[in-house]
Chain A
Amino acid sequence: MLSDWGAVLIFLVVGLGVGIGGVAVNLLLNPRRKFAQKYETYECGVDTIGPTWVQFKTSYFLYALLFVIFDVETIFLYPWAVQFQRLGLFAFIEMIIFISLLVIGLWYAWKEGALEWK
Chain B
Amino acid sequence: MPVPVVDLSLLAPEIALAVLATAILILGLIVPKGSRFGLSWLAIVGLAGVLGITLAGWENQGTLYEGLFIVDQYAIFFKITFLVAAFLVALGSQRYIERIGDQSEYYSVLLFAALGMLVMASAGDFITLYLGLELMTIAFIILVCFNRTSARSLEAGIKYILLAGMSSAVLLYGLSLVYGLSGSVLIPEVAQAVARHPSPALILGMVMLVAGLGFKISAVPFHMWAPDIYEGAPTPITAFLAAGSKAASFAILLRIFVAALPGVWAYWTTLVAILAAVTIIVGNLVAIPQTNIKRLLAYSSIAQAGYILVGLVTAEATGVKAVMFYAFLYVFATVGAFTVASCFYSVTGSDEIKDYAGLSQRSPFMAAVMVVCMLSMAGIPPLAGFVGKFYLFATVVNDYLWLVFIGLVMSMVSVYYYLKVTLVMYRDEPVDNTPIKLSGPVAVTLLITMAATLLIGICPGPLSEAVNAAANTFFLH
Contacts and interface: CB of A to CB of B under 8 A. Distances in A.
B201 A7 contact: yes
Report whether over half of chain B's contact residues are helix, strand or loop; otherwise say mixed: helix
Interface string B4-48: 100000000000000000100110010000000000000000000
Nearest to A89: B3
A87 B29 contact: no
Given A86-B1, A87-B1, A88-B3, A8 B201 contact: yes
Nearest to B29: A111
Interface string A1-18: 100110110010000000
Contacts of A4: 199-201
Contacts of B200: 1, 4-5, 7-8
Given A4-B199, A4-B200, A101-B22, A108 B29 contact: yes
A104 B25 CA distance: 8
A90 interface: yes
A89 B4 CA distance: 12
A90 to B, nearest CB: 4
Interface residues of B, number: 11
Interface residues of A, number: 16
Contacts of B204: 8
Given A5-B200, A7-B200, A108-B29, A90 B3 contact: yes
A107 interface: yes
Nearest to B22: A104
B394 to A, nearest CB: 35
A86 B2 CA distance: 10
A95 to B, nearest CB: 14
A88 B200 CA distance: 47
A108 B25 contact: yes
Contacts of B22: 101, 104
A9 to B, nearest CB: 9
Contact of A107 (B3, B29, B201): B29
A88 B3 CA distance: 9
Contact of A104 (B1, B3, B4, B26): B26
Which residue, of B4, B199, B200, B204, has the highest number of chain A Cβ atoms within 10 A?
A: B200
A90 B6 CA distance: 12
B211 to A, nearest CB: 16
A1 B198 CA distance: 10
Interface in A57-95: 86-90
Contacts of B25: 104, 108
Interface string B195-222: 0000111001000000000000000000
A108 B23 CA distance: 12
Interface in B336-389: none
A104 B200 CA distance: 47
Interface in B158-205: 199-201, 204
Nearest to A91: B1
Contacts of A1: 200
A89 B1 CA distance: 10
Nearest to B1: A86
Contacts of A107: 26, 29
Contacts of B199: 4
A86 B3 CA distance: 11
Nearest to A86: B1
A108 B3 CA distance: 33
A112 to B, nearest CB: 9
A109 to B, nearest CB: 10
Contacts of B3: 88-90
Contacts of B201: 4, 7-8, 11
Contacts of A7: 200-201
A67 B26 CA distance: 21
The list of the 6 closest CB pairs from A to B, nearest first, reads A90-B3, A5-B200, A4-B200, A8-B200, A111-B29, A86-B1
Interface of A: 1, 4-5, 7-8, 11, 86-90, 101, 104, 107-108, 111
Interface of B: 1, 3-4, 22, 25-26, 29, 199-201, 204
Given A5-B200, A89-B3, 6 more contacts: A4-B199, A7-B200, A7-B201, A8-B204, A86-B1, A108-B25
7 contacts: A4-B199, A89-B3, A90-B4, A101-B22, A104-B22, A104-B25, A107-B26
